[in-house]
Chains A and B, each alone.
Chain A
Amino acid sequence: MSGLSVILRREIRLALRHSTDSFMVVGFFVIAVVLFPFGVGPESNMLARIGPGVIWVAALLAAMLSMERLFQTDYEDGSLELLVLSPVPMELTVCAKVFVHWLTTGVPLILTAPLLALMMNVPFEAWPVMLASLALGTPVLSLIGAIGAALALGARRGGVLLSLLVLPLLIPVLIFAVGAIDAHLMGGGAKANLLLLGGVLLGALALAPWASAAALRQAVAS
């Protein structure tokens, strides 16, 4: 287990030293949401109606923006080869990297969301459900994004390709998350959608590390 904690500590230290990455993700998130009042008009009822969906889509895109770098630097400087060769199973290494990625992008996104909800006039009673859906959903973005990042490693135009591969797979997350918020606002109760979202999270947690590790191994092998 000590090998894993070394990797975890290395990832956290790297993330702290590149803290501008997190700020850029949050900056993109804020700007993308702020564009909408200009795009659809500042009418507060309409903003309240589309607010949760806009916040979720922007969070999804912001998380994608940071995904490309998840394995890229390790791949370029060769440390990925050492990680593959190390006694720590690659699946666990992927889990550690995904966890740190979530800490440095998912958590800042969750913390910024209330501010944006305020600006978008989202009713207060929807806030707990929105935050719960973000808490359950953002780890899935990191997990599934990791598969895409590992697959597109070393590809031409990797960033665009990554979005093309991963965004379709993330549509269920968006559906259940926004469904939960809408159902709560309509008075239907958010429980069913949140449970489905939790199910997606557990499924991704069980399967994504294996797929990413397989992709990383063959990226290093060739």
Chain B
Amino acid sequence: MDERKLVILAIAGEEDAFVKLYELYYTRLYRYAAYTLRGVHDAEDAVSEAVADAYAGISRLKNPDAFGTWIFRILSNKCKAKMREYYTSSDLDVTEVPEEAENIDMALNLSVKQMFMSLPKKERMVIGLSVFGGYDSREIGKILKMNASTVRSIRKRTLEKMAREMND
């Protein structure tokens, strides 16, 4: 079924349409949250909060084509807030807080998955949105309120780094 139509119906207050729309996104949303937050319980909370917010706010969504980026942005903000809770870092967008697992050089034989998990958080979000959201740099920029070129360079750097790790 056409997503755009579902969005229009959902904006008009059709719960069924909202549920169907959610169905199109939920695995991607959950995977994104799980890998960004590195915890299934936190991911569950983040997704349910984000979906509740989306449900409460969908009537205000102006552009029916922007549902995907919109809900990923809500979820990204939830993830950021959760990470802030843990790390009490003031602003994720400007501060790259080093994390213990960041040094992936140490982790020989890490699976791709583990490599992913051990990325710094901003990188995890950028890559997560590429992998689970299928978004391009411009869209990711919108979601994370970053420059598209910054997104591109983060993505390139991170993916290259991961590719190197894998080949090692």
Q: Do A and B bind each other?
A: no
Q: Which residues of A are in contact with B by a Cβ distance under 8 Å?
A: none
Q: Which residues of B are in contact with A by a Cβ distance under 8 Å?
A: none
